[in-house]
């Protein structure tokens, strides 16, 4: 079997929303009006913690595709002031969100038990306010949300290979500054974290053979598989991975911005930053190179995301193990592309309506499990009852 990233076509029903004249698409998508449509036309479940489970109208896959969003559209009108990562939400919301994550992932594993037949992934992306809203590739909904997807592996096998120079296929082995120049210190920093359920694993065991991705990213095997997700310790360690990434990113770009800057204020692991990063010659040398290029190359400097921007995934590898990985975010790349799946969405109402009943049936099944776990109430839409 030849390995390489695949490009699939996913039909969707055009969204019946009129964008006001003079507004960019992503400006409108961050509005309360758009979030009302997301809830009332595609909402599945909501709870008092402001978590909304919904059908993806512009989906990645029509096999199984849903998201949970922390809907602050009415309580925080400034899109740039909304929480955009799990470390920024209230504790009561995060606990409910973790339980929802566990139930949806458990459903996917149960419904699609064979790793040879289905690629399963769940993850979140940073939606940090690091560009103006009108910049190309800025996320369309600037609020914290998770993705849950299943891809049929036979469909991926039959799909044409994607262009490997596609800028959206951003991954640690090809384009990441961390992996290209600071691989050892990056690994050492993560190794200093207090992990028990998450066990650092090799790139070969974490790679999907069909696509050859992810490439070069740090990854951790989940000891105990899907049952470990019922342990609150797993979610604490999942947060440690994110906090470690944020600290590394901030420490590096603080050095790029200001030579010999101190440990960033509010760091989660200040001792490790001081002893592992700021005393590492490779780390400091890389910051110097980037700083010097920023001074002389305006386009290069403008493209840098100065604040932490990431994608964090839980997915199933070919052996059936659950794997956690994290990557830098870049302009435009979707979370699926970390696993080598490029999605081309096309408007085709008839094609979408042929697969819609089976998709909705699965979404309502997982909604029922969330309701039984007291994680919310069903939402009525034109397509399903409450």
pLDDT above 60 (res 314): yes
> H or E segment at 326?
strand 322-328
pLDDT above 90 (res 25): no
Same domain, 141 and 268: no
Both structure tokens of 348: 């085709």
Burial class (CB in 10 A: 0-12, 13-18, 19+), 259: exposed
Calpha distance 59→40 (Å, rounded): 17
Same domain, 161 and 243: no
pLDDT above 70 (res 171): no
Same domain, 163 and 230: no
pLDDT, mean of residues 126-154: 73
Same domain, 96 and 109: yes
pLDDT band at 131 (very low <50, low <70, confident <90, very high): low
Determine the 3-state secondary structure of 280 from DSSP. Answer: coil
Same domain, 193 and 124: no
pLDDT, mean of residues 244-252: 95
Same domain, 18 and 162: yes
Assign residue 293 a region: left if phi > 0, alpha if psi is -120 to 50, beta otherwise? alpha
**Range name among 73-87, 162-176, 275-289, 365-379 with the lowest pLDDT average:** 162-176
Among residues 280, 309, 338, the one where a domain terminates is 309
Same domain, 189 and 304: yes
Same domain, 132 and 259: no
Same domain, 55 and 142: yes
Determine the 3-state secondary structure of 347 from DSSP. Answer: strand
Same domain, 60 and 88: yes
- Alpha-helical regions (H) of the chain: 25-29, 32-42, 91-111, 153-158, 177-181, 183-191, 203-206, 232-257, 270-272, 281-296, 298-303, 349-372
Domain residues for the domain of 138 are 1-170+330-386
pLDDT, mean of residues 361-371: 98
pLDDT, mean of residues 156-175: 77
For residues 286 and 181, the answer to whether their CB atoms sit within 8 Å is: yes
Same domain, 239 and 141: no
Mean confidence (pLDDT) of the chain = 89
The structural domain count of the chain equals 2
Same domain, 179 and 150: no
């Amino acid at each position: 079997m030849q390995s390489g990233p695949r490009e699939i076509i996913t039909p969707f029903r055009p969204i019946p929303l009129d964008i006001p004249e003079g507004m960019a698409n992503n400006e409108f998508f961050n509005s309360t009006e758009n979030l009302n449509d997301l809830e009332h036309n595609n909402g599945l479940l909501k709870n008092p913690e402001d978590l909304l489970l919904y059908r993806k109208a512009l989906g990645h896959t029509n096999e199984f595709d849903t998201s949970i969003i922390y809907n602050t559209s009415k309580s925080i009108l400034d899109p740039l002031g909304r929480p955009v990562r799990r470390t920024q939400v209230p504790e009561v919301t995060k606990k409910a969100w973790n339980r929802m994550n566990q139930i949806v992932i458990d459903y996917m594993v149960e419904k699609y038990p064979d790793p040879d037949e289905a690629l399963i992934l769940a993850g979140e992306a940073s939606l940090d306010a690091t560009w103006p809203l009108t910049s190309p590739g800025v996320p369309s909904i600037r609020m914290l949300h998770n993705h849950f997807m299943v891809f049929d592996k036979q469909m991926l096998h039959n799909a044409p290979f994607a262009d490997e120079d596609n800028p959206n296929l951003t991954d640690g082995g090809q384009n990441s500054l961390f992996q290209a120049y600071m691989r050892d210190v990056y690994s050492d920093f993560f190794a200093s974290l207090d992990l028990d359920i998450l066990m650092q694993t090799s790139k070969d065991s974490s790679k999907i053979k069909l696509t050859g991705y992810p490439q070069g990213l740090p990854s951790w095997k989940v000891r105990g598989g899907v049952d470990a997700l019922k342990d609150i310790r797993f979610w604490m360690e999942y947060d440690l991975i994110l906090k470690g990434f944020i600290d590394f990113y901030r420490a590096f770009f603080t050095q790029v911005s200001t030579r010999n800057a101190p440990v960033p204020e509010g760091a989660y692991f200040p001792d490790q930053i001081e002893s592992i990063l700021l005393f590492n010659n490779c780390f400091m040398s890389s910051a110097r190179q980037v700083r010097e290029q920023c001074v002389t190359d305006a386009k290069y400097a403008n493209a840098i995301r100065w604040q932490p921007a990431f994608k964090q995934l839980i997915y199933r590898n070919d052996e059936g193990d659950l794997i956690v990985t994290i990557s830098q975010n870049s302009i435009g790349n979707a979370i699926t592309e970390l696993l080598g799946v490029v999605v081309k969405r096309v408007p085709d109402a008839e094609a979408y309506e042929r697969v819609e009943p089976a998709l909705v049936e699965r979404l309502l099944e997982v909604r029922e499990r969330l309701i039984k776990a007291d994680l919310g109430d069903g939402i009525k839409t034109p397509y399903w009852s409450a």
